[in-house]
Structure 1
Amino acid sequence: MKKSYLLLLLLLFSLPTFAQDYFPKNDGVKTEEHTITAFTNAKIYVTPTQVIENGTLLIQDGKVLQAGANVSIPKSATVVDLTGKSVYPSFIDPYANFGIKAPKRSFDRNSPPQYDAKRQGYYWNDHIRPDTDPMTTFTYDNKKATDLLKAGFGTVNTHMHDGIVRGNGMLVALNSNGDNSMRILDNRSAQYLSYQRSNSTRQAYPTSLMGSMALIRQMYHDADWYAKGKAKRRDLALEALANNKNLVQIFHSGNKHNSIKTDAIGDEFGIQYVLIGDGTEYENINAMKATNASFIIPINFPKAYDVSDPYAAGVVELEAMKHWNQAPSNPKALADKGIVFSFTTHDLKSPKEFMGNLQKAITYGLDKTKALEALTTVPARILQQEDKVGSLQNGRQANFLITSGDIFDKKTVIYENWVQGNQNVFKDKSHKDLRGKYAFNVAGNVYDVTIAGTPEKLKSTVMKDSLKLGSKISFKDNWLQLQFTTADTTKTEFIRLTSPVRNATFFAGKAILANGSESSFNATQKEVSGSKDKKGDKKGKDKKMEAPKMFPLSYPNGAYGSAALPQQETILFRNATVWTNEKDGILQNTDVLVKDGKISRIGKNLSAGNARVIDATGKHLTSGVIDEHSHIGAFAINEAGHNSTAEVNMEDVVNPEDVDIYRNLAGGVTTIQLLHGSANPIGGRSAILRLKWGRSADDMLFKDTDGFIKFALGENVKQSNWGDTETTRFPQTRMGVEQVFTDYFQRAREYEAKKKTGTYRYDIEMETILEILNKKRFVSCHSYVQSEINMLMKVADEFGFNINTFTHILEGYKVADKMKAHGAGGSTFSDWWAYKFEVNDAIPYNGAIMHSQGVVVAFNSDDGEMSRRLNQEAAKAVKYGGVSEEEAWKFVTLNPAKLLHIDDKVGSVKTGKQADLVLWTAHPMSIYAKAQTTMIEGTVYFDLERDTQLRRKIKNERTELMNMMLLEKNKGMKTQAVKKKDKVHHHCDTVEF
């Protein structure tokens, strides 16, 4: 008995020594000036790849003096024993808004638009704000700093999240005990850009993504011009841009498609951007690699949808469900491809979510070393701040974490986060982790005790043989208190134990037995928490968490995507009815051989060779349908901020994942002209697309074609139906529309004259209009009323060029002779009328009448639904006007090809032309006809049988994913409410902002 009391006394007297390195929670302690602190016996991650076991870290005056295994510790140093602990460099967030509040929108969306800049002495567009200095509004936010410190961050790179060019950033140490002179490591750490307009101004331009891209390009041209001393007045914004030129350029592009386009803009002007990702980079990882950019990626992985209501669950898109399943693999995909990336807390509701999401990414295969690099050395390198932060090498900021173990282990506790040598305590690092299985020897009786829960909030299970006893445990300041019932459960009698704990593997203390007598106990740890079972597994090693089943990528990565990109084939269509659109007319029982993407041979009984043979008996083979006027497959349609936006380009905003592309292929459409809308008289440049479903936006562009641009007449351009506030932009009348054209054409001629002298400011808009005047770019004009059609032809004649196509042109029948004389084509609706005032005179005989006068006539859609039924629209030319079937079919094939200047490549079935072909199950203009096979350049992008298989696959994938989501909810995981994503059907008058 005396020995037990002596042991207890020894333990009690040793307690103060045991706790001497404990700093009270929330009591940040700043090291005294010039004091050296030595952290000993720790596992030190100097860098993610330089790890010292049982090492020593010396710090002084907020910086690292030395880290190593054999460090000489000065006698004057304060020594902190970190036996069993790990030390990591504190994390860096390279994309934050810490301490800087972006301005709120100061105007109502219903306010009249502002067309001119308000800032005097600055750039002509208020959304360009490179002069923004975050120092002027920076306020250290203690609450947010605490949240970030608890998540492991010691440094943030912060800036104003407002505007297209947002100014410079600041590198800030999260030192709550310092002041700004100490915290701010670099007040010009980077320059930031985005495509989002500023809330500080209501200047109308740009209203679209393509407008933002055009504005950035023009800004760079203007900056070069200004730097050469060409400007007549001072521009403070362009001067700031020049001053920021050598800073790291960080661009928030918005999504994986924009990242590709943003990098291309950078390449155009010799700039390598650091790109802010959106977490979908894995879907197009090869293109991300090709940018050669470094990425900063959020890890805001989506929560599972609550699909318990089967009716609500039906509206969740497969794409969204697959992203929930695949998103945590994004960091691994980047790492595997060798792409340099770092992490950010941006887009997270709270930094508390950060580590859980990162651990999930590791579960999905992200290497832990890569993860640590993405938090430390990589962001430091991206920001060119490796000499200050990101490691514990000599001379770096003394920013480090003290943890209970592996930083990425779920059980690991971050005890402290030191920033610039100042201590922030979040957990008592002397606090022992008692979780595990023990044998408690109490007065000669052995009890099996399992301690679980968290280190701060434990739970106990006490067993006596096979009997479970009621128990309660408390552990505070390394003192254990455990009480449990006796084996006789009919009595409420308790055994109470108390003991200090210095070593979790063995400890001893006092026991108060059920009869009130005092005794002793000791506890021996048999198994630590999370160790493997006894059947051959090693103790103390956690089982590696298995990654959940991840669905494979498809192209595109949603509904109707293929497991692999389709490839060119050699195919023989056997015994088809071939609509050649050539002098041969319609050929019966004819074979067509496709090889190397082209029509190789046409004839009867052709040799198949190694070709795949498609039996086309009773079926019709035609060239692919071409839509001269389409708005599918785009992220934006109108740039409405100016009355002329010739500088914008639809090629910048191609959305290759728009499901309408697949639907159009199912309707036999192979090529479209993606046109700008009709928000202004002079719109943007168009994109001619081949509908190569699953491929990138760049792959869809029809190569080696003439350039086109959208013009518009009528109600839309004069803002007739835009609302009462839209009354300030010129033009507001039809006669004003004419003046816009003459003014801009005259300006372009004057620009051309200056250009020849060499003393000119490069203007993308004027360059484009000059291309029109010099017949290097061709006009497709939205039109209805005969008077305006006449007007524009006269203006074109005056400036020496031709209008290529009047699109819509519902009054073309009134001016067909004049169009023929001018050389204009007509792309019209088959039978639309009376949907607004200026189409009251439309008639269904319009196309036939123009055709009879020798005008090249096409039927267009301007609609995502009509476009996949253009084969049926062609038939209306037979019904209304008696056009022959062959000529009517040309209205949606060869004629639009002629209008787009691509008829030498597509539009007919002719040897040597590109194999853009459709095999129809019946007469191509029949309402019963289906496109069985649609190919582009000899590659099948739609197949009726494969479509059936894809529909089954979609159903199966949705079912399996929903079951996985239901399991998540049943496990108690957080879910998100079902959201319906409404499909946006773009039209001429669609305005984004």
Structure 2
Amino acid sequence: MKIKLCILALFGCSLSLFSQEYFPQNDGVKTENSNYTAFKNAKIYVTPTNIIENGVLLVQNGKVAAVGSSVSIPENSVTIDLNGKSIYPSFIDMCSDFGILAPKEPQKSNTPQYDASREGYYWNDHVMPENRAVEKFSFEEKRAKELLDAGFGVVNTHISDGIIRGSGALIALNENTTNSERIIAEDAAQFLSFEKSKASRQAYPTSLMGAIALLRQMYFDAQWYEAGNAEGKDLSLEALIKNRPLPQIFIADDKLNDLRADNLGDEFKLNYIIKGGGNEFERIDEIVGTKASYIIPLNFPDAYDVTDPYMANKISLEEMLLWNQAPTNPKVLAENNVTFAITAKDNKKLTDFKANLLKAIAYGLDKTTALEALTTIPASLLNESDEIGTLEKGRYANFLITSGDIFDKETTLYENWVQGNKHVVNNMETIDIRGEYTLNINSESYALSLSGELEKIKSELKKGATKIASNITYQNGWLHLFFNPNGDADKDQFIRLSSLIASEGNLKGEAVLTNGNTTNWTAIKKTSQEKEKETETDEIPKVFPVTYPNKAFGLKSLPQQQTILFKNATVWTSEDTGILQNTDVLVKNGKIASMGTNLSASGAKIIDATGKHLTAGIIDEHSHIAAAAINEAGHNSSAEVTIEDVVNSEDADIYRNLSGGVTTIQILHGSANPIGGRSAIIKLKWGEDPTGLLYKERSKFIKFALGENVKQSNWGASQTIRFPQTRMGVEQVFTDYFQRAKEYSEQWKAYNALSSSKKSRTKAPRYDVEMETLAEILNKERFITCHSYVQSEINMLMKVAEKFDFNINTFTHILEGYKVADKMKEHGVGGSTFSDWWAYKFEVNDAIPYNAAIMHDQGITVAINSDDGEMSRRLNQEAAKTIKYGGMSEEEAWKMVTINPAKLLHLDTHIGSIKEGKDADLVLWSDHPLSVYAIAEKTIIEGAVYYDYEQMQEAETLIRQEKNELVNMMIRAKNNGVKTQAPKVKEDEAFHCNTLIYQLK
């Protein structure tokens, strides 16, 4: 709305200027008029919505002196008659790295770097708000020419390196001046990203969630520092505070990262301008919900070369859909009133930018909106509307001269003026000869097509349906074309055509034939009607509808709660009532409304469950699916990070788990360090965004770890720097950090107990997210799930906890639990274990498949977990193994994947069993749920069907049909000369406890 009001205000200002009959005398026109340049008889786009027909643009000293339909041109002005041509404001790219050298990567080292390399700055090298692009800027003539040829006049350039990148500089692409005159704003915006600096070896962060945690802590530190609580100087925090009034541009580069950046901004009341990834259309409702402004790239993917059926089969539907739908992204954003600018940053070649811009318009982007996204919107977002973005009086004379509509494929860009200095793209005197012709020579006829840029004309020659290789040059008004009419049969025989072009329309000239004789030739230009009849138009292919998520098995709309009545089911309650035969279960408003026999409900969907089994949804206490990162390995404690920041709602394993009857999982941090990160508890609501997956009733958990991984014994010979390196050291880490957290908590209690007057004279403790998290453990507000193997370490951690007066909640995949089950019972800790994994590394050599049964017999709450994306789809069968190994009853075995993990997650009052009032998280099985033959026919979460076996089979058929249709589209595109890319096999990383990867998507 603000932008619309600004545009209306600018329009109002321009009306008075357009009606001006005489140039004002007080501007010194009568005495100093030789430095004016007047462009007349042009169609002038003063703004994208204020257009003057046959107007005059008057330029003086690099700025617009006047513009209008009745501007008096001062005497002795340099007057340029544009004779019906068009003038547009030059484009603005607000996210560039023009003129900034890529940072030098440090020399490789065999040992990791944990501490910062700088003194007097922030404790992390990847935070560099003190960097200023203006201090590292050097004008690049070659790249400037490319940008100017593409229509850009101004770029907001920055140092494209690091998490906090410092301030960008607003640069005019003026080839004929000095840097000091090119610089419109030295500090135009502050740039941020989730990506580490390439110039630093500092290990932390090693993950996306670590980057988010670093930014969160940095903002808290800046607040604390600004309040005067610090003892010394921190140049980074001072720069961060100084840069706060600047526009904050966050390089997110993906739709889910867009949402993550916005969530962080909301936390600290920051309005980021988010640079997206071009796939925002896939989650448009959530993008609209951010209320953010965006910078959108036009990096549409090329079609795949799918002529090899084997390789075509390797391309996922997700990748094919992105190729098909990506050009609609700008249109979808505009239709949903999302404010966005357009950038060329992600285009490898600027010619791709122009082609993709025209493609976006062909796919529905309004031309006015496109022009706004390249001019007024970036100017407004950068708070520079008084200087750039329009051709109103007083603005920089940054403008384009074109042959017509700038967004027309046939339009020629002649000149790009920046700060009143001319850059020639195409000679304005050059006659446009592009088009379709019938070439007649020596009684032979050919189809001749001339296309491409005006001074880089491309020719295509055909004799009937046969293409004939040809070569053309068009310079200084002379056209030269030669070709071999006989093809490869006679390689040295050419027909050579030449012509001096004097006017548009038909062509004619002299030809030298293959025998050396000369003759005349003509080329009759086809009318637009003839072209439409004889040539294929640039038809927009069918655009497939977006699904949620936008990949195989995605949903056209999100499932809705239903009133469902299951009739005559065998109901596994996971309660004291046991297994009920021939029982009805009514689901209403997302809850289990009633259970019994002969139930009825008006309007309910009736499901005949005769001979089938109804259970509570399976709960996986230890999973690593549905996350964009698992380990933050940069420190020996990463309590400040949380998986909730990096939930990945696009993970196909969500759907696969639903097919195995899983409805709830705990996504745990990995085992890279003794104190890991906080977990995320999600319901597998396929199609929701990351926030929609988070279980609203979730308790607070954190992952700890013991064993080989945390002491880095299996990380390689160079990983000997970080403490701890022994199991003794692991215990010391826990003791030290809990003692620090205890002292930290006491500091805050003492500070908060002060009176207001004393607080104002006392420096506040530093708010530390890591210590806050550990203090929550001490205060019994957050619970530990601990990765564990060896009995000695299990005993150790229980003793450390008891020393600090709290209990460990769960030992997960505790394969030596049978050795210490009595001590676990006494401590009050639960066990979540594998059914029969053993001997896959040295410290699990003593694992036995009777572990779960032995712990259960000691009165411990025992769950079977997966820790694996594949195993989690068959946890019903894993639970069944406890019957073989330990003689568990069927009911108790089933509880190990339902009510028991619910108890371990403190959620048993909401989920884990079939009981009136609980969440309707249910699975209808075709057979005994512990059987290998059992199929999950329906998986229901809170009364909505998120998986249906029959619908899955129908979807498989539809997927094959859609892929086949998309393959044919790509083949057709290739046959039409569209650039293609070679198929690449894309395999999603399967995350495990020890996965170390810096993944941004």
Fold in common (TM above 0.5): yes
Deviations 1:911-944 (A, max 9, x none): 1111000001100000111101000000111100
2:965 pairs with 955, 960, 966, which one?
Answer: 960
Deviations 1:468-495 (A, max 9, x none): xx999986545689999xxxxxxx9x99
SS at match of 2:190: strand
Question: Cα distance 1:589–1:292, how it changes in 2: closer, same or farther (>3 A)?
Answer: same
Matching residue of 2:722: 729
Spell out the pairing of 1:584-733 with structure 2 (5 A cutoff): 584-733=577-726
Spell out the pairing of 1:378-397 with structure 2 (5 A cutoff): 378-397=377-396
SS at match of 1:169: strand
The one-letter code matched in structure 1 to 2:740 is R
Deviations 1:837-885 (A, max 9, x none): 1111111111111111110000101001111110001111111111111
Spell out the pairing of 1:242-257 with structure 2 (5 A cutoff): 242-257=241-256
Give the distance between the partners of 2:93 and 2:562, measured in 1 at CA.
49
Matching residue of 2:20: none
Matching residue of 2:487: none
Task: State the Cα distance separating 1:85 from its structure 2 match.
Answer: 1.1
Matching residue of 1:344: 343
SS at match of 1:602: strand
Q: TM-score, normalised by structure 1?
A: 0.90
Matching residue of 2:163: 164
The one-letter code matched in structure 1 to 2:65 is L
SS at match of 1:187: strand
Report whether the alignment pairs 1:851 with 2:856.
yes
Report whether the alignment pairs 1:229 with 2:228.
yes
Give the distance between the partners of 2:520 and 2:867, measured in 1 at CA.
88
Give the distance between the partners of 1:482 and 1:424, measured in 2 at CA.
29
The one-letter code matched in structure 2 to 1:799 is F
Matching residue of 1:6: none
SS at match of 1:384: coil
SS at match of 1:189: strand
Matching residue of 1:288: 287
Matching residue of 2:550: 557
Deviations 1:579-606 (A, max 9, x none): 0111211011111111110111111111
Report whether the alignment pairs 1:829 with 2:838.
no
Question: Cα distance 1:440–1:746, how it changes in 2: closer, same or farther (>3 A)?
Answer: closer
Deviations 1:299-334 (A, max 9, x none): 111001111111111111110010000000000010
Report whether the alignment pairs 1:745 with 2:745.
no
Question: Cα distance 1:700–1:509, how it changes in 2: closer, same or farther (>3 A)?
Answer: closer
Give the distance between the partners of 1:304 and 1:270, measured in 2 at CA.
41
Matching residue of 1:129: 128
Deviations 1:356-401 (A, max 9, x none): 0111111111111111111111111111111111111111111111
The one-letter code matched in structure 2 to 1:79 is T
Task: State the Cα distance separating 1:609 from its structure 2 match.
Answer: 2.2
Task: State the Cα distance separating 1:411 from its structure 2 match.
Answer: 1.0
Task: State the Cα distance separating 1:448 from its structure 2 match.
Answer: 11
- The Cα RMSD (Å) is 3.2
Task: State the Cα distance separating 1:102 from its structure 2 match.
Answer: 2.2
Matching residue of 1:16: none
Report whether the alignment pairs 1:453 with 2:425.
no
Question: Cα distance 1:533–1:320, how it changes in 2: closer, same or farther (>3 A)?
Answer: closer
Question: Cα distance 1:612–1:718, how it changes in 2: closer, same or farther (>3 A)?
Answer: same
Give the distance between the partners of 2:579 and 2:984, measured in 1 at CA.
50
Spell out the pairing of 1:132-151 with structure 2 (5 A cutoff): 132-151=131-150
Report whether the alignment pairs 1:569 with 2:574.
no
Spell out the pairing of 1:717-866 with structure 2 (5 A cutoff): 717-758=710-751, 759-866=764-871
**Mean alpha-carbon deviation: is it higher for 555-564 or for 327-336?**
555-564
The one-letter code matched in structure 2 to 1:581 is S
Contact 1:436 1:529 (8 Å CA) reproduced: no
The one-letter code matched in structure 2 to 1:982 is E
Contact 2:134 2:187 (8 Å CA) reproduced: no
Q: Which runs of 5+ in 2 are unaligned?
A: 1-31, 464-468, 484-492, 513-517, 752-763
1:870 pairs with 875, 884, 887, which one?
Answer: 875
Identity of paired residues, percent?
A: 60
Matching residue of 1:515: none
Question: Cα distance 1:441–1:350, how it changes in 2: closer, same or farther (>3 A)?
Answer: closer
The one-letter code matched in structure 1 to 2:911 is V
SS at match of 2:772: helix
The one-letter code matched in structure 2 to 1:890 is K
Contact 1:62 1:398 (8 Å CA) reproduced: yes
SS at match of 1:646: coil
Matching residue of 2:152: 153
SS at match of 1:621: strand
Give the distance between the partners of 2:956 and 2:217, measured in 1 at CA.
46
Give the distance between the partners of 1:648 and 1:497, measured in 2 at CA.
70
Task: State the Cα distance separating 1:893 from its structure 2 match.
Answer: 0.3
Contact 1:573 1:614 (8 Å CA) reproduced: yes
Deviations 1:959-985 (A, max 9, x none): 111111111112222110111112211
Give the distance between the partners of 1:423 and 1:277, measured in 2 at CA.
33
Deviations 1:752-800 (A, max 9, x none): 1111233211000000000000000001011111111111111111111
SS at match of 1:262: helix
Matching residue of 1:106: 106
Matching residue of 2:936: 931
Contact 1:129 1:166 (8 Å CA) reproduced: yes
The one-letter code matched in structure 2 to 1:582 is E
Give the distance between the partners of 1:33 and 1:902, measured in 2 at CA.
81
Give the distance between the partners of 1:519 and 1:309, measured in 2 at CA.
47
Task: State the Cα distance separating 1:496 from its structure 2 match.
Answer: 10
Contact 1:933 1:943 (8 Å CA) reproduced: yes
**Mean alpha-carbon deviation: is it higher for 768-777 or for 782-791?**
782-791
SS at match of 1:710: strand
Aligned length: 938
Matching residue of 1:23: none
Task: State the Cα distance separating 1:506 from its structure 2 match.
Answer: 9.5
Contact 2:435 2:450 (8 Å CA) reproduced: no
Matching residue of 2:37: 37
Question: Cα distance 1:177–1:549, how it changes in 2: closer, same or farther (>3 A)?
Answer: same
Give the distance between the partners of 2:853 and 2:480, measured in 1 at CA.
95
SS at match of 2:676: strand
The one-letter code matched in structure 2 to 1:818 is K
Question: Cα distance 1:499–1:247, how it changes in 2: closer, same or farther (>3 A)?
Answer: closer
Question: Cα distance 1:510–1:960, how it changes in 2: closer, same or farther (>3 A)?
Answer: closer
Contact 1:304 1:975 (8 Å CA) reproduced: yes
The one-letter code matched in structure 1 to 2:888 is V
Spell out the pairing of 1:49-448 with structure 2 (5 A cutoff): 49-108=49-108, 111-435=110-434
Deviations 1:394-439 (A, max 9, x none): 1111111111111111111111111111111121112222456899
Contact 1:458 1:475 (8 Å CA) reproduced: no
Contact 1:462 1:471 (8 Å CA) reproduced: no
1:989 pairs with 994, 997, 1001, which one?
Answer: 994
Question: Cα distance 1:481–1:891, how it changes in 2: closer, same or farther (>3 A)?
Answer: closer
Contact 1:448 1:462 (8 Å CA) reproduced: no
The one-letter code matched in structure 2 to 1:887 is E
Give the distance between the partners of 1:825 and 1:472, measured in 2 at CA.
78
SS at match of 2:708: coil
Contact 1:532 1:543 (8 Å CA) reproduced: no
Question: Cα distance 1:534–1:962, how it changes in 2: closer, same or farther (>3 A)?
Answer: closer
